[in-house]
Amino acid sequence: MAIREIVKYPAPILKQKCKEVVKFDQKLAMLLDDMYETMVAADGVGLAAPQIGEAVRVAIVDMGEGQEVIEMVNPVVTAIGGSEVEVEGCLSFPGLYGEVERPFFVRIEAQERDGSLYELEAEDYEARAILHEIDHLNGVLFDSKIIRVVDPSEFEEVDEESIETEQKEGEHQ
Ligand SMILES: [Zn+2]
């Protein structure tokens, strides 16, 4: 495993539509392991392969709190529902935070690292993180969806209860 360099905007690879994974081999397993290590080192909650320079349809999300890491290979959104506006960030856009509207609920179909197919349903912040990462695989970046840029200092101006939430929501993906 290795910590990889995170590709920053405006690198062209971030705007590419990524390629389907067809080989479920050791190289894919290594990519997923590198992505996980890189995400943890950068204190993110999600990472997409193009963010470490690989234009393939692979992304991960880690909600923490003892939850298993979600590994998504060739993910496809099969259903969405509701909508919610929350603050997002992105490891490829250091220092940029903004309010983005996304579905509250999502259902996806994806493959595991061994190629087996699975279905997953998620809500709220987890759904947001999954959709943010799948956007990356289509070359869609969150800055194009920001409806209001949020200064990080705004996180500190709110009361104690909100700080926890706001900081969580401001985490990088
Ligand atoms: Zn991102």
pLDDT value for 163: 44
Q: Distance, CA 131 to ligand 1 centroid (Å)?
A: 10
**Alpha helices in 63-159, H assignment, sequence order:** 124-137
Give the type of residue at 170: G
Question: Which tokens is 48 given?
Answer: 């997409």
Residues with CB under 5 A from ligand 1 (ion): 90, 173
Q: Distance, CA 130 to ligand 1 centroid (Å)?
A: 10
The structure's pTM equals: 0.90
User: What separation in angstroms does the CA of 16 have from each of 44, 48, 63, 140, 161?
Assistant: 22, 12, 26, 8, 39
Active site residue 133: yes
Q: Distance, CA 19 to ligand 1 centroid (Å)?
A: 18
Contact 17, 139 (CB under 8 A): yes
The DSSP H or E segment spanning 123 is strand 117-123
pLDDT value for 66: 86
Per-residue pLDDT tens listing for the chain (173 residues): 799 999 999 999 999 999 999 999 999 999 999 999 999 999 999 999 999 999 999 999 999 888 899 999 999 999 999 999 999 999 999 999 999 999 999 999 999 999 999 999 999 999 999 999 999 999 999 999 999 999 988 876 655 554 444 455 556 77
Which one of the listed residues 71, 126, 133, 166 is annotated catalytic? 133
